[in-house]
Chain A
Amino acid sequence: MELPKLITKRKPTAGEKVYNFFTDISRLSLFTFRALKYVFIPPYEIAQIRKHMDELGVKTFPIVSITGFVIGLVLALQSQPVLQRFGATDFLPATVALSVIRELGPVITALIFAGRVSSGIGAELGSMRVTEQIDALEVSAINPFNYLVVTRVIATTMILPVLTIYVNFIALIGGYFAVIITDNMSFQYYQNAIISSLEFADLVPGIAKTFFFGFIVGIVGCYKGYTAEGGTEGVGKASTTSVVMASLLILLFDTLAVKISLWLWPTLG
């Protein structure tokens, strides 16, 4: 499938920039359709998927652990004085839990994942493109799209929800640390308050959208890397633009996901 061409002039005009913006979106859409089609076409490259889940997902655990802990800690520290003003410090566990599980956990984990993984995929595939390694796979009668793109997209889609659940948990632990610094609340009370404040409708949308965030991170990184042009400069561009594009799409999709979840579960409002 031939993708429409971008205007690659050094100094494009405003009109050409607008043209490139819309062309880029149409190219990404075509690339996505192609990836979705190849998901169902053998060979399924299970070993590669497992390898990428390890490289792209498991190795992201340290950075998201720190981030998750700090999010919970800071959120609880910031919320505590405000709740105290209204005599509502008992609501602190619920405030932290709902903020983290509904929104902060999924979105921040996805943005960090985009920063680490999307840029990495963009750079790796971009480098393989400009050094003809992707062509080498193709002439060796190996489908590079299946081998390089589909495996990474499946890996990122599967691993991000796991990372998010983990970050949510770590953030709640971080929240409890803030609570014991500022307040005298037992862990048992903190835990019970969280469990009683959460409903099924709080948990499902937050985790469900991370499958889409993971897909966005994988597909954008692969698209930018796989279609990279212009030597090492193209590799650098693929790496940076993939982070920008993936982050923007995550935020855009998050807005959409919030609207959909409010429509499906009106009690969330």
Chain B
Amino acid sequence: MVMADFRLVEINNLSKAFDGNVILDNISLDVKKGENLVVFGQSGTGKSVLLKCIIGLITPDQGDVSINGQLTKGLNIDELNTIRKKMGFLFQSAALYDSMSVRENLEFPLSRHTNLSSKQREEKVRETLRMVSLEKSIDKMPSELSGGMRKRIGLARSIITDPELMLYDEPTTGLDPITTKEISELILNLQRKLNMTSIIVTHDIVCAKIIADRAIFLKEGKIAYEGSIEELTNTTDIFLEKFFSTEIIKD
């Protein structure tokens, strides 16, 4: 449920360049609590950089980001980590820890940031794995999992600490259409169940149609479009028509 008044994420005049190449150019954006915002754009237009600026993996050249009303700029690592504990991040590659089993991957943030007993942690791990329908894989190593399973486990690891804000970096890239739909529905269900706010970077119109409350389109480092997903896909803008022409799946 979107809370109309409360802006969980506020981005003001954010700019970032790499080796003189401007990736984000003066971006301003708000995300309301409980909202699912989808970020579209061609490859290299700074979608992932935007997510990494929000979570503090990349320091912007200009502008600032506020999470829950708190500016992330100028915070020391401990203060930034306090904010990060309320956030989840699903990497494009899922970024599971290779040396740990599925159980250990999920338990790791719990053992670090909560005072749960080992029994409570085990219950929480199993409960979260049930949400992503992979309880049977609890003792597997990441190398034994398929691409879709890795994404699900990555998702489970991200949500296990009950974050208020989830950031998804291309959650369905490289997956077949059926798994794409399943992962997208899973994200939507989790968002409803846990009342999370989500920012989803994707190229995938199927995923966006399922998840998005609102969408933006990044072009040359700026927000070229902002609105509902229906408006975006029915646009008369030549560039956007071209972008979506190969991807739109008719109802």
Taking A131-B95, A136-B96, A141-B109 as known contacts, 11 extra A-B pairs with beta carbons closer than 8 A to each other, sorted by chain A number, are: A128-B98, A132-B91, A132-B93, A133-B98, A135-B52, A135-B95, A136-B97, A138-B57, A138-B84, A139-B89, A141-B112
Interface residues of B (CB under 8 A from A): 52, 55, 57, 77, 81-82, 84-85, 87, 89, 91-93, 95-98, 108-109, 112-113
Say whether, besides A131-B93, A133-B97, A140 and B84 are in contact (CB < 8 Å): yes
Q: Could you show 14 A-B contacts with beta carbons less than 8 Å apart? A: A131-B95, A132-B93, A132-B95, A133-B95, A133-B96, A133-B98, A135-B95, A136-B95, A136-B96, A139-B55, A140-B108, A140-B109, A141-B112, A143-B77
Cβ-Cβ contact count across A and B, 8 Å cutoff:
45
The residue on B at minimum CB distance from A143 is: B77
Query: What class of interface size applies to chain A in its complex with B?
Result: 10 to 19
Q: In the bound complex, what is the Cα–Cα distance between A127 and B96 (angstroms)?
A: 12
Q: A142 interface residue, CB < 8 Å from B?
A: yes
Interface residues of A (CB under 8 A from B): 127-128, 131-133, 135-136, 138-143
> B57 near A139 (CB under 8 angstroms)?
yes
**Residues of chain B contacted by A133 (CB below 8 angstroms):** 95-98
How many Å from the CB of B130 to the closest CB on chain A? 21
Q: In the bound complex, what is the Cα–Cα distance between A135 and B89 (angstroms)?
A: 10
Say whether, besides A127-B98, A135-B91, A136-B95, A142 and B57 are in contact (CB < 8 Å): no
How many Å from the CB of B162 to the closest CB on chain A? 13
Say whether, besides A135-B57, A136-B89, A141 and B81 are in contact (CB < 8 Å): yes
The residue on A at minimum CB distance from B57 is: A135
> B89 near A141 (CB under 8 angstroms)?
no
**Residues of chain A contacted by B87 (CB below 8 angstroms):** 139
Q: In the bound complex, what is the Cα–Cα distance between A73 and B113 (angstroms)?
A: 54
**Residues of chain A contacted by B84 (CB below 8 angstroms):** 138-141
> B55 near A141 (CB under 8 angstroms)?
no
**Residues of chain A contacted by B85 (CB below 8 angstroms):** 141
The residue on A at minimum CB distance from B108 is: A140
Q: Which residue of B57, B91, B95 has the most chain A CB atoms within 10 A of its CB atom? A: B95
